[in-house]
Copies of this chain bind each other. A is one copy, B any other.
Amino acid sequence: MKEFNVKRIDVDTGKYEIILNIEDARDLSVYREDRVKVVGGRKTITAKVNVTDTLIEPGTIGAFRKTHDALDVAVDDKIQLIPTSKPDSVEYIRKKMDGKELSKSELYDIIRDLVSGSISDIEMTAYVVACYTRGMTLDETENLTKAIIDTGDVIEFDKGPVFDFHSIGGLPGNKVTLLVVPIVAASGLMIPKTCSRAISSACGTADILETIANVTLSIEDIKRISEEVGGVIAWGGAVNMAPADDLIIQVEYPLAIDPYPQVISSIMAKKKAGGAEYLLIDLPMGPGTKVETEEIARRYVNDFIEIGRRIGIKVECAITFGGQPVGAAIGPALEVKEALEALEGKKVRTSLIEKSAALAGLILEAGGVATTGQGKEAAKEIIRSGKALEKLLEIIKHQGGNHEITSETVPLGKYTHTVVSDKEGYVDAINNKSIVKVVRAAGAPKSKGAGLWLYEKKGHKVAKGQKLYTLYADSERKLKEALRVSRELRPLTIEGMLLKVFPSFHQI
């Protein structure tokens, strides 16, 4: 079989992709967009074919960054190419598009092909959209979850028990993890928290903490820091735990969709791979969040608990108030600032402390370090004593961050604009979805300084000209864009004192 040299093409396409000279492509009878198995490197992968007349000479393949890294070949190493047929899993994706239930082996095939690179972006998108429009049965969700776990690494802790926590996304400003993890770790329990980046929300916990610490940790780091410090906040996408989930997210992100069965299996697979034995799930309920109604909340609760039972995690769910953002800050750097303020004992919105303490308290009770009903108070005491702040800074230090950081020194976006009320009245509504769109327009989650700081919350009385919120961005263009979106979507609505005018004096 013909052997090829490998030339690194230093472009990060995020996928397994190679470039072939047209002559070699003809010899192999492969065409653009076809897939070939690349054999002979450290890892055997399936890569998409691009074709060139001139850029790569015959006998050599061009390997983009991710492909080259996976192959890990030296200059003189040779590789071989084996053209592959379309995998059977594309048939199963069509089956799901047609609304049919997938078997365990079909779901495993899809996930295995996804992880090996045999499924293209187009095929993967079709799978995600089909799950979105067709849904999945609980059996499918279970099998999907198991397939995602089994195609990746898992952490095995020497200590235990392992506690974990997850907030369902969609609620802007929900930075409670930055309080819950240090409270629990300071209590002596172990909470190795892997977290995610935003898919459809303004920013995930990984996006937030990344502002001041490294969240790209290895499995060894996560294990060591957790066992030493009691807690860690690591980006789940950086390790090879549940790698299928990260690939699915790459497709969900640009569409800003997050299909229900995918939410369940994504969270549960990451948690199981991360070694969790007990898991508390925060379900913020309110308009514009993932959990808009009590009915949806109940479905989540049932399915999380049931899938947990099937894969061996004890799950507890807390439905929380999601009618408006938690606290004042939305956006990576701003949320770090507000979390630090809370732990430093500064005056912050009560909702942030109350919610974080209530959630952490449930874990303290489950772990037996607080008696039933006393968890919340115990959690507040850990904040008041300064131990939670100390623990967070210790975690930040172990994750390569500056442990002398304070709420005053977090770097915020340089470009700001403050919006004031154009009339006297009350804050009638704060629209979660609009806030998310404004903050994303400002550049979040990738742009760390981007965000929005709310001065007033629902029901507050405001005077004409009073500050409502400040927009933050890292570039002037993004600030303008956020301002444009905020003018269009109006994240806050102010109702004047004069609510209705009867027609008696204003006859049409």
Residues in A lying within 8 Å of B, measured CB to CB: 9-14, 19, 29, 31-33, 50-55, 83, 85-86, 90, 93-94, 97, 99, 120-123, 125-126, 129-130, 132-134, 251, 254-257, 441, 443, 446-447, 474-475, 477-478, 481
- B120, A29: Cβ atoms closer than 8 Å: no
Given A122-B254, A129-B130, 13 more pairs with CB closer than 8 A: A11-B52, A29-B447, A29-B478, A31-B446, A33-B254, A85-B441, A85-B481, A86-B254, A120-B254, A122-B251, A125-B126, A125-B129, A129-B129
- B54, A257: Cβ atoms closer than 8 Å: no
- B10, A55: Cβ atoms closer than 8 Å: yes
Q: What 4 pairs across the A-B complex have the smallest Cβ distances?
A: A125-B125, A129-B129, A133-B133, A10-B55
- B55, A94: Cβ atoms closer than 8 Å: no
A123 CA to B129 CA, complexed, in Å: 10
- A29, B477: Cβ atoms closer than 8 Å: yes
A472 CA to B9 CA, complexed, in Å: 38
Name the CB-closest residue of B to A484: B85
- A133, B255: Cβ atoms closer than 8 Å: no
Which residues of B are found within 8 Å of A254, using beta-carbon distances? 33, 86, 90, 120, 122-123
A85 CA to B447 CA, complexed, in Å: 14
Number of copies: 2
- Also in contact, A29 and B443, with CB within 8 A (given A133-B99, A133-B134): yes
- B55, A9: Cβ atoms closer than 8 Å: yes
A97 CA to B128 CA, complexed, in Å: 11
Name the CB-closest residue of B to A446: B31
A254 CA to B124 CA, complexed, in Å: 11
A254 CA to B87 CA, complexed, in Å: 11
Name the CB-closest residue of B to A441: B85
The smallest beta-carbon distance between A50 and chain B, in angstroms, is 5
| From B9, B33, B94, B251, contact of A257 by CB (8 A) | B94
Which residues of B are found within 8 Å of A94, using beta-carbon distances? 255-257
Which residues of B are found within 8 Å of A474, using beta-carbon distances? 29
A356 CA to B425 CA, complexed, in Å: 76
A475 CA to B255 CA, complexed, in Å: 40
Which residues of B are found within 8 Å of A10, using beta-carbon distances? 52-55
| From B54, B83, B257, B443, contact of A97 by CB (8 A) | B257
The smallest beta-carbon distance between A58 and chain B, in angstroms, is 14
Which residues of B are found within 8 Å of A29, using beta-carbon distances? 443, 447, 474-475, 477-478
The smallest beta-carbon distance between A88 and chain B, in angstroms, is 11
A120 CA to B251 CA, complexed, in Å: 11
A315 CA to B274 CA, complexed, in Å: 62
Name the CB-closest residue of B to A96: B133
- B97, A133: Cβ atoms closer than 8 Å: yes
A235 CA to B462 CA, complexed, in Å: 65
Which residues of B are found within 8 Å of A122, using beta-carbon distances? 121-122, 125, 251, 254-255
- B123, A90: Cβ atoms closer than 8 Å: no
The smallest beta-carbon distance between A113 and chain B, in angstroms, is 13
A477 CA to B83 CA, complexed, in Å: 9
A86 CA to B441 CA, complexed, in Å: 9
8 CB contacts below 8 A, A to B, read A12-B52, A29-B475, A31-B446, A93-B255, A120-B254, A122-B255, A123-B254, A125-B126
A257 CA to B129 CA, complexed, in Å: 14
The smallest beta-carbon distance between A198 and chain B, in angstroms, is 13
A476 CA to B214 CA, complexed, in Å: 52
Which residues of B are found within 8 Å of A443, using beta-carbon distances? 29
- A50, B256: Cβ atoms closer than 8 Å: no
A9 CA to B19 CA, complexed, in Å: 11
A276 CA to B257 CA, complexed, in Å: 41
The smallest beta-carbon distance between A10 and chain B, in angstroms, is 5
The smallest beta-carbon distance between A98 and chain B, in angstroms, is 8
The smallest beta-carbon distance between A467 and chain B, in angstroms, is 26
- B132, A97: Cβ atoms closer than 8 Å: yes
Name the CB-closest residue of B to A55: B10
Which residues of B are found within 8 Å of A12, using beta-carbon distances? 32, 50-52
The smallest beta-carbon distance between A122 and chain B, in angstroms, is 5
